[in-house]
Amino acid sequence: MGNDGGSIPTRRELVKEAARNPTASELKDKQKEHLAHRWSNCPVSLKPLVKPVVSDYSGDLYNKDAIIQFLLPAEASSVDKEEYEKFIQGRVKSLKDVVEIQFEVEHDEKTRSEKWVCPVTSKELGPNVKAVYLVPCGHAFSQEAIKEMKSEGKCVQCATSYEERDVIPILPSTEQDKAFVIQRIETLKSLGLTHSLKKASGSKKRKANGDSKIESAENGVTDNKEKTSDGKAQPSPADLPRAGIPQSGTSTPKASNGIKNSATASLTARVLEEEEARKKRRRENENISSLYTKKSDGRKDGDFMTRGFSIPANARHQ
């Protein structure tokens, strides 16, 4: 290691520092950095969080369009569902398992950016402030504000009643909060309810006088479907317009699962349109397909290697 203009490292430089446990301040800084990333990015699509934002029972935040992509059938979605499932881990099986978060948005004219704030304390919701949201309305507050309004039991934004168990911590970081959300979802499952307090699929009994249809409308998804002669379920005629099925003369793509919520149906239709446009671009890329051989009228045209050159039929080998 000489005559090369470099230097010879000493033993002191080569021996690494002995392994040690991180200090409390180092752990706190690392945790805050992790929370800051989770507050600004969707963990499954790896894109910045933008409204509409939803959350599952664990308090994790996702872009709603990413969850819709995950729930779409495989042939209609281009995402890697196995990669999504590594993080979701079975917590989301339908839109009933998530709640759309209603954040209060404050615009910063200086930086031309937006931030989510608590409508009561005006504190910015993020890694520095413990935040919660209410089920089923989804309005988000700082934990401090909810503790002050604990005796009221109604959301100050929409006056919707809620129980103490339905105050969900956003991105819980303590073992106590993590145990709380797990215990809550186990209780709801025993009652036949989902995270959004809607009836879980398969737990609803058939009722007379159309009561089941009324409950389905309240849940936002049509579960009571008529069956055809071959045993397959199909939506009732009254549900077809709401399910996103296009009327005559329109080309709007179908929304899956009989979604009745107009905002969700619109977002689903937009996702399907984007997927269809992406597949069409891949299929009809004439700049690439024109380079390769095409069959027409029973003969083969030359490709880019042989086009413009042909061997005479009467040519003989010398």
User: How do residues 230-240 score in pLDDT, each as one tens digit?
Assistant: 555 555 444 44
Instruction: Please provide the distance, in angstroms rounded to a whole number, between the alpha carbons at the two ends of the chain.
Output: 65
Identify whether the C-beta of residue 34 lies closer than 8 Å to the C-beta of residue 26.
no
15 contact partners, CB below 8 Å, separation of at least 6: none
Whether residue 146 contacts residue 132, with contact meaning beta carbons closer than 8 Å, is answered with: yes
Position 149 pLDDT exceeds 90: no
Q: Answer for the pair 153, 21: CB distance below 8 angstroms, yes or no.
A: no
How high is the pLDDT of residue 250?
Answer: 44
Maximal CA-CA distance, the chain? 102
H helix or E strand, kind and range, residue 182: helix 175-190
How does pLDDT run across 4-41, given as a tens digit for each residue?
667 777 777 777 665 677 788 888 888 889 999 999 99
Question: Is the per-residue pLDDT at 206 higher than 50?
Answer: no
% residues pLDDT > 90 (the chain): 42
Amino acid letter for position 77: S
Domain with CATH 3.30.40.10 in the chain: 29-190
- pLDDT of the residue at 75: 77
> Quick one: how far is CA 164 from the chain centroid?
26
% of the chain with per-residue pLDDT over 70 = 66
CATH topology of domain 29-190: Herpes Virus-1 (3.30.40)
State the pLDDT at residue 304.
52
